[in-house]
Structure 1
C-alpha cells in the first residue's frame, strides 16, 4: 500500500469515527445499524431534533458515504438507507473511539501517570464511552464467535458479567426467544444504556439489569445461580491483581452453574507478538498496566485459574480483535 493510500484510509476512518460518535450521542445509532430505510422525520423524532438540523447532519452522512439517499420524493423528503458496509465501518471506527475517546483521561494525563502511576485513579474514564466503543469493536471483534458458542448450547438462562451497554446479551436474547438474561455492570451509565437498548430491541421483559460489581458475587451469587451460561467480557482481568478474589469468584461461578453449564470468558492476553495483533495488543496491554493497574494474565495463567476453581475442561480460541481470546470452561 502506498503511503498516500494509507493517509486517505486514516482520514476516512477518522471521519467515520467522528460521525458515528455524533450519531451515537444524538440517538441515531439504531437507525444507522438497521436494515430499513428511514425518513428525515423519523430521524428527527428519534434524536428529538428540529428537522432542519437533523437534515443537515444526515446530508453530511450521505456525503461521507455512510448513508445513501433515495431519489424517491415524498412529503417527508425521501428516504435514507445505511451504507452496505456500515457494520464493518463501525467496527473499524470502534478501535479509534476506544483508543482516543474511552481512554482520553489517560492520554491527556500521560505525563502525570508515567511519573506517578497511582495518579491514574484521579482521572477516571467515562463508563458510557467505554461501553459504547467496546460495543463497536465487539460487534465484529468478538461477539460473533462468542454468540455462536453460546447459542449452540441453547441456554435457558444467560448471565453477562460486565455487560456494558448490553449489546451481546440483547443479541443473544433476540436469537434465543425462550431465554432470559441478567446484565450485570458496575457503571450506572452503562446499565441505563442497556435498559434503553433492551427496550428498543423488544427484550426488556426478559432482561434483568443488575448495577453491581462482579466481585460482589463472592458474597451474593444470586445473579449467576442456576445459569446455563455465564459470560464475562473483558472484566475478569480487573480482579487479577487480587488473586484470592479471582479464585473465589471463579469457584463461585462454577458452583452456581446449572448442571452442564459453562463459563465463557472473553478477554485479552498481553503483548501478543504476531504481525496482525501486535499494535493494538501493545496499546491495550500498556494502558491496562500503566493506567488501570491491571497486568493481563497469559493464556497459561487463565488455564491455571480455571483448574484451581475445579472446572473440568477449558478451551481457548483466538478472536478477531487483536490479542483477544475466548475461554470456555465447563463446570
Structure 2
C-alpha cells in the first residue's frame, strides 16, 4: 500500500485523487497498458479503503486523506530508499555495499523531505527565525529549495542553495523560476561537505542545514566538530546556524512510525544519530553558542538555532 501511494504521488496522480480530478474518462484516455495498470491500482486502493468511487470520479476516503497527510514520509522512504531496501539480502550477505552498488535516489529523498517538512518542520523553523535579523541565507543540502524560497520570500532575504544531487538542483532551479526570485536566489550543484568550495559563507548571516549534519557525523564526531569549526571560522560575526535533525528513539521507545525507519536507513548508510544534548555539545565544541532547542512535529524531530560564538 505504501509503495502504491508513493508511486501515485511521484507520478503526479495523488493530487488528482485529492481533488477528485481522476475520473473513469481520464483513466481510459491513457494508453491501454497504462489504463489497465492504473485501474488495477485504483481497485487495490478501493479494496484497502483508501479510495472510493463517487459518481464518475475516484476520490480519497476520510481514511485515505488521513494516510496521505503523511505522503512525504512515504515518498522519502519508498522513493528515496526503496531500491537499497529491496536489496537488503545482498547487503546482509556482504555481496554488495550501500552507496557503491545500490545508492538511494537523491531526488525523492529531497522531495519527500520537503513534503514532510512543510507540515511538520517548516512552521516551527519560521517561528525561530522571526526572532533574528538577516539579509543573506545559505541552505546547505537545499534539496528542491522550497524552504530557502520560503525564507527569502518571508523575510526579504537573498539566498544561495547548495545540493550535490543533479536531480534536486534541476527541481530547485525550476522552483526558483516559478517563484519569480531569480534576481536574489540561486542554486548551485556542489558538495555541502566541502566548505572550501562555498564562497558565499563569508557573507552569509544565516546558514540552514536540514538533515545534513548527520551525514558529516558519519565520518566521526571529530569530523563533525572540525566541519562546524571550519564553518564558524568562515562566517561573519553574529551569523546564525539553524539545523534540523532527528533524534534516535530512546531505549524501549516503540514509536509506531518514522523514527525507527529513519534510524534504520541511516544505519544502512553507516551513519549514527545524536540526541539534542549530543548535538548541542558538538555545536559548542565547533564554535557555536546554542540559543534555542525546539522539538517539532516530526516524530523525534528537533530544531536548533545557534550563533557563532564571540
TM-score range, shorter chain: 0.7 to 0.9
Mark the CA change 1:32 to 1:312 in structure 2 (over 3 Å): closer, same or farther.
farther
- TM-score relative to the length of structure 1: 0.73
Please name the residue that 2:179 is paired with: 201
Give secondary structure in 2 for the equivalent of 1:120.
coil
Please name the residue that 1:109 is paired with: 87
Please name the residue that 2:149 is paired with: 170
Among residues 226, 234, 243, which one is paired with 2:203 in the alignment?
226
Q: Deviations over 1:213-253 (max 9, x none)?
A: 12210x34412222121010001111113234322221122
Among residues 225, 228, 232, which one is paired with 1:254 in the alignment?
232
Q: Does 1:308 align with 2:288?
A: no
- TM-score relative to the length of structure 2: 0.78
Larger deviation, residues 241-250 vs 166-175: 241-250
In structure 2, C-alpha distance between the alignment counterparts of 1:292 and 1:91, rounded to whole Å: 27
In structure 1, C-alpha distance between the alignment counterparts of 2:307 and 2:233, rounded to whole Å: 11
Mark the CA change 1:224 to 1:276 in structure 2 (over 3 Å): closer, same or farther.
farther
Q: Does 1:179 align with 2:157?
A: yes
Q: Does 1:245 align with 2:223?
A: yes
Give secondary structure in 2 for the equivalent of 1:267.
strand
Q: Does 1:161 align with 2:140?
A: yes
Q: Are the counterparts in 2 of residues 272 and 281 from structure 1 also a CA contact under 8 Å?
A: no
Q: Deviation at 1:125? A: 1.2
Larger deviation, residues 275-284 vs 232-241: 275-284
Q: Are the counterparts in 2 of residues 271 and 278 from structure 1 also a CA contact under 8 Å?
A: no
Structure 1: which 5+ residue stretches go unaligned?
Answer: 1-10, 41-48, 70-81
In structure 2, C-alpha distance between the alignment counterparts of 1:258 and 1:89, rounded to whole Å: 44
Mark the CA change 1:313 to 1:187 in structure 2 (over 3 Å): closer, same or farther.
same
Q: Does 1:299 align with 2:276?
A: yes
Please name the residue that 2:9 is paired with: 20
- Give the structure with the larger helix fraction: 1
In structure 1, C-alpha distance between the alignment counterparts of 2:4 and 2:257, rounded to whole Å: 21
Please name the residue that 2:241 is paired with: 263
Q: Are the counterparts in 2 of residues 155 and 228 from structure 1 also a CA contact under 8 Å?
A: yes
Please name the residue that 2:121 is paired with: 142
Mark the CA change 1:152 to 1:91 in structure 2 (over 3 Å): closer, same or farther.
farther
Please name the residue that 2:307 is paired with: 330
Please name the residue that 1:124 is paired with: 103
Structure 2: which 5+ residue stretches go unaligned?
Answer: none
In structure 2, C-alpha distance between the alignment counterparts of 1:180 and 1:132, rounded to whole Å: 22
Mark the CA change 1:150 to 1:277 in structure 2 (over 3 Å): closer, same or farther.
farther
Give secondary structure in 2 for the equivalent of 1:223.
helix
Q: Are the counterparts in 2 of residues 88 and 140 from structure 1 also a CA contact under 8 Å?
A: no
Give secondary structure in 2 for the equivalent of 1:245.
helix
Q: Does 1:287 align with 2:265?
A: yes
Mark the CA change 1:278 to 1:301 in structure 2 (over 3 Å): closer, same or farther.
farther
Q: Are the counterparts in 1 of residues 90 and 96 from structure 2 also a CA contact under 8 Å?
A: no
Give secondary structure in 1 for the equivalent of 2:223.
helix
Q: Deviations over 1:118-144 (max 9, x none)?
A: 611210111111111111111112111
Q: Are the counterparts in 1 of residues 9 and 75 from structure 2 also a CA contact under 8 Å?
A: no
In structure 2, C-alpha distance between the alignment counterparts of 1:244 and 1:168, rounded to whole Å: 29
Q: Are the counterparts in 2 of residues 90 and 136 from structure 1 also a CA contact under 8 Å?
A: no
